[in-house]
Amino acid sequence: MACMLALATPAILAAFPATAKILATVNGKQITDDDLKIAADDLRGSLPPQLDDKSREGYLLDYLINSELVAQKALSEKADQNPEFAKKLAYYKKSC
């Protein structure tokens, strides 16, 4: 499921209404409560079971912030234009 989040994030985020509550902004990119709900669903089986609701929200928000930072760094280094990246992306699309 995690690969689905990574591949579909731009399309999914564009479909959400503007009424979503903004939880964080990473270099101009907003992370909303709707994003948190998607991440919670996507990571449901891999979240530490001992987390209470507030801790789970913090864990997921950290996950989304870190994911956004990694994605922004990769794009700034033009990783998406690397032939190896294209191979891996094709693999992930097949396995999802």
pTM: 0.69
Instruction: Quote the CA–CA distance of 96 and 94 in Å, as a whole number.
Output: 6
pLDDT tens digits, residue range 34-62? 999 999 999 988 998 899 999 999 999 99
Two tokens, residue 88: 């891996």
Asked whether the CA dihedral 46, 49, 53, 57 is positive or negative, the reply is: negative
pLDDT tens digits, residue range 8-42? 555 555 655 568 899 999 999 999 999 999 999 99
Q: How many CB atoms lie within 10 A of CB 83?
A: 7
AA identity, residue 71: A
